[in-house]
Amino acid sequence: MGLAVLLGLFGLCVVIGVPVAFALGIAAISAFIFEGLPAMIGFQRIISGINIFSLMAIPFFIFAGELMFHGGIATRLVRFASAAVGAVRGGLGIVNVFSSMLFGGISGSAVADISALGSILVPVMKEKGYDDDYAVNVTVTSSIAGIIIPPSHNMIIYAIAAGGGISISSLFLAGVIPGILMCLCLAVAAYVVAVKRGFPAEKFPGWRGLVMSFVDALPGLLTAVIIVGGVLTGIFTVTESGAFGTIYAFLVTLIVYKSISLENFKQAVTQAVRTTSMVMILIACAGAFAYMLTFYQVPSRTIDLLTGFTENTIIILLTINLILLVLGMIMDMAALILICTPIFLPVAQTLGVDPLQFGMILLVNLGLGLCTPPVGACLFVGCAVGNLPIEKAVRTIWPFYLAIFVALMLITFVPAISLTLPNLFR
């Protein structure tokens, strides 16, 4: 009965439009009271959910991404990507994917990727004769590279949700190959659709132009090197690397590129504060909610349910993928990481799946959910940027869904894709 109160109240709050963070808190505190537990313990669980030092890295990552968005780094990355791969048939589609891979690896945010790159590339693609639905669909689906390619604040959330026993530096390494693989699959899909529709190729700027665009983009690209490299080499903790990365990004936009104004800086600060506040409230309330899930033995019951249904590892993993995909369509990503990790990670571990690999499976599934209706944040932002009705985008987005699904299946059933780099550095 208590579990019904917990899940029922949460579902009711979400249906009537209560923000997910508050829905989690209300449901958790109500379950505490229903079970006769002191409500004060529930509030203590909420506070302890964010009383974790490594969470301090999240506002730094978010602020660094906003500085890069408002400071002109994204424009230079697009210019470099265009010089490198734009000469292929439908090259701007591949440029879009390549730019997302570069910028996503710095900002760590899918929505920041769409906001920054979409506002630059979608109008250009339309002007060059690309269909508006193609431009939006490539931008939306490639944006989730920011979730997988390090640094990613979603990886920090996953590490916290897993109980803090997972190395964040190992998670960063685990995301490199899956992120590149997914972008390659999307690039193939972008090329195939572009050839089918007869989109043009861009003119190759020459090797000198390619080198010059790389040199121009290099200071921005070094932001990711500082953040990820500092963690992997042990020079910085994750939080320290985020702080140094933010300072470096600010200095690059202010001194090197001289492209950030006082107004842009204010916008970056305001948006970073808003995003950080939402994420932290969500993590805090999800901590109490996850505690009650454990109290009701939901993880162990889930293991019994899935292993009782079948002992076939492939079927169980496909079932978990399906559940995560469906949940990703209707709920916020950060909330799902915090809720689903303590439920499904133990199941995956009983099947011999490494926590690092499961993290990649979880993030790709939920990233795909960001691109799907009815609650796909990336889909909504991309359509808004491209001034395109959502229903028109959804009708033609399936080749890109298929590309991500292929990458997801490879990540799920080929452990080496996620584990090779972490194993090399252990």
Domain with 321 in it:
2-424
pLDDT at 80 over 70: yes
pLDDT of residue 136: 87
Q: Can you give the pTM of this predicted structure?
A: 0.82
pLDDT at 90 over 90: no
What CA–CA distance (Å, rounded) separates 193 from 207? 28
State residue 230's pLDDT score.
77
Comparing CA positions, the residue from 271, 246, 229, 277 lying closest to residue 107 is: 246
DSSP β-bridge partners for residue 201? 89
| 213 residue type, one letter | S
Structure tokens at 159: 């590490």
pLDDT of residue 109: 66
Highest mean pLDDT among 31-35, 58-62, 295-299, 407-411: 407-411
> What was the pLDDT predicted at 210?
82
Q: Which alpha helices (H) appear in 108-205, and where do they start and end?
A: 110-113, 119-127, 132-142, 145-148, 153-161, 168-197
Q: Which residues pair with 89 in a beta bridge?
A: 201
Rg, the chain, Cα only = 21
Domain tally, the chain? 1
Mean pLDDT, the chain, integer: 82
- For the chain, percent of residues with pLDDT exceeding 90: 12
Residues with Cβ within 8 Å of residue 383, at least 6 apart in sequence: 136, 140, 389, 390, 393
Answer yes or no: is pLDDT of 346 > 80.
yes
Q: Decide if pLDDT at 284 tops 90.
A: no
pLDDT at residue 5 tops 90: no
